[in-house]
Amino acid sequence: MNIQNVTLCGLLLLCVLVSRQSFAQDSIQSHTIKIKVLLEKESLPGATVLIKSLKKGAITDLSGIARIENVPNGQYFVSVSFVGYEQIEQSIQVPMQEVLIVYMKESENALDAIVLQSTRSTRTIKNIPTRIEYIGAEELSEKTAMNASNIAMVLRESTGIQMQQTSLSSGNTNIRIQGLDGRYTQLLRDGFPLYSGFSSGLSILQIPPVDLKQFEIIKGSSSTLYGGGAIAGLVNMVSKTPKEEPQLDLMVTQTQALGSIFNTFYAKRNNKWGYTLYGSGHYQKVYDPEDDGFSNLPETKSVTINPKLFYYPSEKTIMWFGLNGTYDDRTGGDVKKIEDGENGIHQYTEENISKRLSTQAVLETKIDDKQSVTIKNSIAYFDRNLKIPDLTFEGNQWNTFTEATYQRKGQRADWVLGANLYSVSFDEDSQFVERDQNDITYGLFLNTIYDISENWILETGLRTDYAQDWGVFALPRVSLLYKLNSSFTSRVGGGLGYKIPDIFTEEAELVNFRDVQPIDNDMLNAERSYGLNMDFNYQTSLTDEIGFSINQLFYITAIRDGLLLNNTSAGLFQFENAKGDILSRGAETNIKFTYKDFKWFLNYALIDTRLNYLPGNPQKPLTAKHNAGSVIMYETSTWRIGYETYYTGTQFLSSGIKTTDFITMGVLAMRNYSWGSAFVNFENLTDRRQSRFSPLVVPPHENPTFPEIYAPTDGFILSVGVILKPFGNEEEH
């Protein structure tokens, strides 16, 4: 072998060694990979990107990019997750030639995928400038287990909402949103504003929640959407609808306070026809936890039935007709008189017998993919008889509501044009005073939602109402939504409102309408209002198992010509307009943490409601300025366990006396089975009752007086029950 051959072999050997060394170095070389996460066309900050096999991960930044360092060559599965969205898994090969782009999809249970009815739009929550609070089927089932007889529990535990009890004997309760009286809140059922005037006093107690699938709450002036009365806001209760798979729910609840509740709901759709049937029965024995001889819960016998028939003539048209009937008999007061009859000093009772019957009819049809028409009508009848030993107040009220709307969905703008007719007729059975009322209101409204850009959405509306005897009301409204990205959004909006005077106020209810003079159209003005609100919302995933969100709301509502009930020198009660504003302002904070199967909700409400027509601008009586709450939930497919704590701050009585603050607690445990669920609920676990702070009844026994109610009156309530689901066991979402 010559020298040239030796040299050539050496060079070849050297090349092989270098190549092997280079390959070995390549095989252990690490890289920084970049993954960009998008939701539609927007960057998604706060998403978790994880390579489980390497136990390496990162959180996407404001540009939606996650950087994972020191990733060796090879093939891996990358997991991308974000609260409310489906988890994505994708295979990657390292080294990567370019940035990997991942598109997230909303999960089936994502809140933002819910389409709400209150706005009359087909948009989802994230694309509507109006701020709407949503209570879905899952949370409704929890509140139903706590109280299946009425919707008070659902509303009471929402931030900034107070359930104000106006009568110890009847339990009559009104809803207050952000410190404003119940007459300023509109209660809707499937978009029908029927619970008003004479019928509103017992409405909260007469609406069972079992056949409802969701609640939609708009706080602040909403008169542009649904007319007068929505100065403080509106609550729309949406009923369940039939599916192809039949659904049957049977619910039985028993309390230690001798209350028994039975609910049944059945739904089924067969091709072009469908129907739902709901029935409820509630019996409550008179309950007196203080043993002071007067009831804290009245003896109650209540029955509700609500059948609905649905017809689907084509894929574009839906028609349905519903009938709702309620009979309710409540007797509270002296326990011995209720149980044994009048005897000696045992004379005082308050009896409320009410009957409610209403119809609803709806026709919805799509002209094409962009246009639709909806026509709806309702007729409601309410009859109430209120008796105390020396007074009987009775009458009936007819409400009618008819509305036609035309909707058009464009590429960038959606709008709805509508007209409605609303009538209220109250007829009192009395020979001594004429307090009948007849009001007719004609309304015309236009509402638009316009996509200015990917980040800005504008909503504007204008309603013009003509109220017979009260004149014309122009009600503009505007809201603006800003979306920085999928984690941060902000809304600001405001509008005008009005309320036609009627005699059915909280003050009149407190005196059982005794000596209350009729509405004088010539002396009174309609109440008018303006409201503004702004909120900020942020949500993110701290890790793939920990989620966090916060919503901060600021609001202000002012009412001019507020309706007051004043005591005259003749001992009569006369309605007058306030000489100054009622001004409610404040803030609401809602925070949510999630970790695996645990959820922790924190809330705080600052409610500063001032009566500027009085010297010193005092805080509105029976309105706590500071309220806070904490709810911890553990939820799996088998168990649902919750622990609640609520703080109510000090309040002022009408006399100026300052009340004490208090804390209430509750525990719910629910076990799911293949056949349904069993539950136990400990409400007001620490037994906080107003009687522990001050008397609920002031002597003499035969003619008692009842101080204002500022705290719970019934105390601790233990309830147990079962929910049977023979079929149709899936929750509605």
**Residue 158 CB contacts under 8 Å (≥ 6 apart), including other chains:** 133, 135, 217
CA dist., res. 321 & res. 312, Å (int): 12
Per-residue pLDDT, 25: 44
Q: Which of 100, 72, 96, 97 is nearest to 88 (CA)?
A: 100
Per-residue pLDDT, 172: 86
Which residues is 164 bridged to in the sheet?
Answer: 174
Q: Which of 335, 345, 350, 340 is nearest to 288 (CA)?
A: 335
Give the single-character DSSP code of 637: S
Element (H, E) at 335: helix 335-340
Residue 350 burial (CB count, 10 A) = 23
Which class for 24: exposed (0-12), middle (13-18), buried (19 or more C-beta within 10 A)? exposed
Q: Cβ(221)–Cβ(494) under 8 Å?
A: yes
Q: Cβ(692)–Cβ(683) under 8 Å?
A: no
Please work out, in degrees rounded to the nearest 5, the angle formed at the alpha carbon of residue 536 by the alpha carbons of 530 and 537. 130
Per-residue pLDDT, 650: 97
Q: Cβ(527)–Cβ(183) under 8 Å?
A: no
Per-residue pLDDT, 113: 53
Q: Cβ(278)–Cβ(256) under 8 Å?
A: no
Amino acid occupying residue 337: K
Tokens (6 digits) for 647: 């703080």
Secondary structure tally for the chain: helices H, strands E: 6, 39
Q: What is the dihedral of CA 669, 690, 296, 278, to 10 degrees?
A: -40
| Residue 492 vs residues 130, 350, 481, 484: alpha-carbon distances, Å | 8, 46, 7, 14
Verify cis geometry, omega within 30 degrees of 0, for the bond prior to 726: no
CA dist., res. 681 & res. 614, Å (int): 43
SS3 state at 52: coil
SS3 state at 87: coil
3-state secondary structure 556-620: EEEEECCEEEEECCCCCEEEEECCCCEEEEEEEEEEEEEECCEEEEEEEEEEEEEECCCCCCCEC
Tokens (6 digits) for 262: 């039975």
CA dist., res. 188 & res. 186, Å (int): 6
Per-residue pLDDT, 411: 86
Radius of gyration of the chain (CA): 30
In the block, tokens 């026509």 appear at: 375
Residue 34 burial (CB count, 10 A) = 16
CA dist., res. 92 & res. 36, Å (int): 13
pLDDT along the chain (733 residues), means of 10: 47 46 52 86 80 85 84 89 78 86 68 65 81 86 85 87 90 91 92 84 84 91 84 92 92 96 96 96 96 95 97 96 96 95 92 96 94 96 94 94 95 94 94 88 96 95 95 96 92 96 92 92 95 95 86 97 92 94 97 94 97 96 97 93 97 96 96 93 95 94 93 96 79 41
Q: Which of 306, 320, 422 is nearest to 361 (CA)?
A: 320
SS3 state at 670: strand
Amino acid occupying residue 50: L
Verify cis geometry, omega within 30 degrees of 0, for the bond prior to 518: no
